[in-house]
Structures are given as C-alpha cells and as structure tokens.
Structure 1
Amino acid sequence: MMLDEAEDDHEAAAPLDMLDRYFAAHGWVSERHDDEISATVKGSWTEYELRALWRDEDSVLQFLCFPDVKVAEERRAPIHEALALVNEQLWVGHFELWSSSGVLLYRHAMVVDGDEDGDRAMSLATTELLVETAIDECERFYPVFQFVLWGGKTPREAIAAALIETQGEA
C-alpha cells in the first residue's frame, strides 16, 4: 500500500493517524499507544527509531529520531561541542544529548493548525517532509558522531571529514 499524490490533495489526517499510514505505506514496523507512535527504519549507517508524540492541549507534534548512539559520560564534552557545530548546519530541528541516559537524538516540534471545526490535520507532504528530514539529517551527521566517539577526531575535524562533498564520478 502506497499513499499517492492524489490522496494528499484531498485528504489530511490527524498527525498520528497520518504518521501511522505513512509508516505502513513504507512497510516500517510501527507501534502506537495513546498519543505516541514509533517505528524502526534501516538507514545506511544504522537503524533509526522514529517516535512522534502528540500534545493535544498545545496542538504540537514532537518528532524524534534516535540514531542508535549512546555516549559514555567521559565522551560527553566532545560530543556536546560536536552537537553545537552540527546544529549550526541545520535549518529545521536539532540534535541533542539526553543527560540522564547519554542517548543522542534528533528532535523537531511543530504546531499543527486546525480547520474551522478545530480538527488538527497533517497532509502527506508535511508528513513526508517531517520524517524524511529527520532521517536525512541523522544519515548526514551520523559519521560526525562516530568520528568523535570512535575515530579519535576532534569535533571540528569530524565535521570537516564528514561533510566533504565528493565531486566527479569514480
């Protein structure tokens, strides 16, 4: 089952419903509980856990992407520096490190407007942009975190190494 462009033009759905449909259309294993949905996606570097939380009273959808990176206490200072440098590169969302667990994640929140009846709905295009941006940014910056954690590089060296643009063809 794939969601198509025509469906997007005529239908929007509550944010978690649309995410549920989007995940199912891609064949991603997902789980839904109350105001939360999660899915697992295989990227080119690692598996990503996607998680969305809906806060009805504020009409806010918080979208998280976990790139399976856990940072030991002694490596947190250079990772915090790397996070600052990485976040300077982002237009939407940000990376952060949860202090209690050392888990690294990408997070973006958005307000979902309602229609004249007050129903909150999200289009397929918005859903695709939200999910694909999170995955793309995790894919783009995953090497930076690995270079700092395991490659012995400083955060600046890691950014420079990871963001080299290849020109030409091999």
Structure 2
Amino acid sequence: MLDEAEFDREDAAPIDMLESYFAAHGWSHEREDDEIVAKFKGSWTEYELRAIWREEDGVLQFLALPDIRIAEERRASIYETIGLVNEQLWIGHFELWSSSGILLYRHAAMMSDEEDGATLSLDRAELLVETAIDECERFYPVFQFVLWGGKSPKEAIAAALIETQGEA
C-alpha cells in the first residue's frame, strides 16, 4: 500500500495514474501513448504487468503475465485447470493465448466518461493492480502442480489452496 500522504490523490488519465503508481513503487516500467508495461517481482516469479487504454471504448485492459509458457502437449490439462480456477474468481480471469502458449490474468475495467475524459483514481488503480498480483500469486502453484508436479487440475487446486490455521 502506498503512503497516501506521499502520493497525489487527484484522479488522472488511466495510463498516467498507473505510471505514477508504478513509479511510486519503484517498479521498472515503459510507457507508450495508450499502453504501459511494468515488471514486478512476486513470491513465485517475475510478472509483467501491462495496461492498455482504449479511449474509443472507454476500457482499460489490465494484464498480468506470470513467467509461464505452456507447451502444446500440456494445454488440455491447463485449459481444464483454467476453467476450475476461473470458477474461484470474482474479478478477472485466467486465459491461455493459443498462438504463443502464454498464460495470463486479464481484467477489463470500464471507465466513466467524464466531460474531460475518463480518469482513474489511486484507490481504483491500486485495486486493479493488487487484485491481479494477488490472484496470480494465489494460483501460480496450481499451474505449477499441473505442469511439473504430475497432479490433475482438481488435485492441484486442492493442494495449493489449503487454508492453514494457527501458527507453527
């Protein structure tokens, strides 16, 4: 969480707000007109965070790409896994790009169209980014159990999503 006292609380154009958010966290990022790409080191892997602003539609598309590529022979089990994982999500979804085998999390946010153009608040930017990271971190082990652990999708979800209670 950002220290709100150190961050400009004014709403901004979606890509501008995300650029400020990434910079405030010290994450490396590159920006073009309607797109920004940042790198974030999670618990399991490094993620590419990508936002694309489609002004004509008023939609901000946010992608989180964990460093996972799926070989052709493993795709059937991953498609089943994605289906089971997506049942657990309220916002966003996982998908597999068939042309490249890249696994990703995607969420599209409709932005209100104000007279001066659509804006994104700090709170909404934080929710968008943190939700994507949290879901990737939560389900990364599931995909790894299927790909490398020899588990079925149902076994992988059961093993990865065990809730522990208390302290050791």
TM-score relative to the length of structure 2: 0.96
Question: Where does residue 164 of structure 1 map in the other structure?
Answer: 162
The Cα offsets for residues 41-84 of structure 1, whole Å up to 9 and x where unpaired, read as 00000000000000010010000000110000000000000000
Question: Where does residue 126 of structure 2 map in the other structure?
Answer: 128
Unaligned runs of 5+ in 2: none
Question: Where does residue 53 of structure 2 map in the other structure?
Answer: 54
Amino acid at match of 1:27: G
Question: Where does residue 143 of structure 2 map in the other structure?
Answer: 145
Question: Where does residue 113 of structure 1 map in the other structure?
Answer: 112
Q: What is the SS of the residue equivalent to 1:144?
A: helix
Unaligned runs of 5+ in 1: none
Aligned-residue CA RMSD in angstroms? 1.2
Please give the alpha-carbon distance, in whole angstroms, between the structure 1 residues aligned to 2:89 and 2:166.
26
1:167 CA drift (Å):
0.8
The Cα offsets for residues 4-48 of structure 1, whole Å up to 9 and x where unpaired, read as 16843xx10000000000000000000001211000000000000
TM-score relative to the length of structure 1: 0.95
Moved over 2 A (4+): 5-8
Amino acid at match of 2:92: G
Q: What is the SS of the residue equivalent to 2:70?
A: coil
Amino acid at match of 2:100: S
Contact 1:3–1:25 (Cα < 8 Å) also in 2: no
Aligned residues: 166
Please give the alpha-carbon distance, in whole angstroms, between the structure 1 residues aligned to 2:81 and 2:146.
8
Please give the alpha-carbon distance, in whole angstroms, between the structure 2 residues aligned to 1:3 and 1:151.
40
